[in-house]
Amino acid sequence: MARPESEYPTELELEILKVLWDESPLPVRDVRARLESDAGRTLAHSSVITMLNIMHRKGFLKRQKDGKAFLFSPKVEKERISGGMVSDLLSRLFEGSPTAMVLNLLETGEIDRDELDEIRRMVNRKRREREQ
C-alpha cells in the first residue's frame, strides 16, 4: 500500500522550493545547477524533471511554456509552508506546547549570544503587541 501524500514538501521538494523562492522562474537545467551548488546534491536531469512535475501535480509549483522547455516557479509561499510545518511539529512532537518547543531549541541548539538577544527582542515585541 502506497504511503499517503503529505501536505508538506519532502526534503528534496523543500530544497527545490528554496531554490525557486530565491529566484524564479527557472528552467530545469538551472534548478538542477542550483541544487548542485546550493545543496550539494547531484541529480540526473531526468530526476529533476520528474520531481518538478510531481511538485507541479501536488500544487507546489506552477509552470509556463518557454519555447520547448518549461519555466518553474513556486505556487506556495515560504511563510505558508514554514508555518504549517512548524505547527505540525509543535502539535505532533511537543503536544501543542510552544514553551516545550522553544525550551528544546534553547537546550539543544547552537545559539550564540547575538541570537539569544534577538530572540529576547522578538519575545518582548510580541508581549507588547499582545498587551495592546
Does residue 82 lie in a domain region? no
Q: Are residues 62 and 107 in the same domain?
A: no
pTM over 0.85: no
Q: Per-residue pLDDT tens for 50-89?
A: 999 999 999 999 999 999 999 999 999 999 999 999 999 9
Does residue 84 lie in a domain region? no
Contacts of 89 (CB under 8 A, 6+ apart): 101
Does residue 112 lie in a domain region? yes
Does residue 44 lie in a domain region? yes
d(CA 90, CA 121): 22
Through-space distance between the first and last CA atoms of the chain, rounded to whole angstroms = 52
Q: Using alpha carbons, select from 59, 57, 52 the residue that is nearest to residue 25.
A: 52
Domain membership of residue 36 as a residue range = 11-74
Query: In this structure, what CATH number is given to the domain that contains residue 52?
Result: 1.10.10.10
Q: Are residues 67 and 108 in the same domain?
A: no
Q: Per-residue pLDDT tens for 95-123?
A: 999 999 999 999 998 999 999 999 999 99
C-alpha pair distances (Å), 61 with each of 54, 70, 107, 110: 9, 12, 36, 33
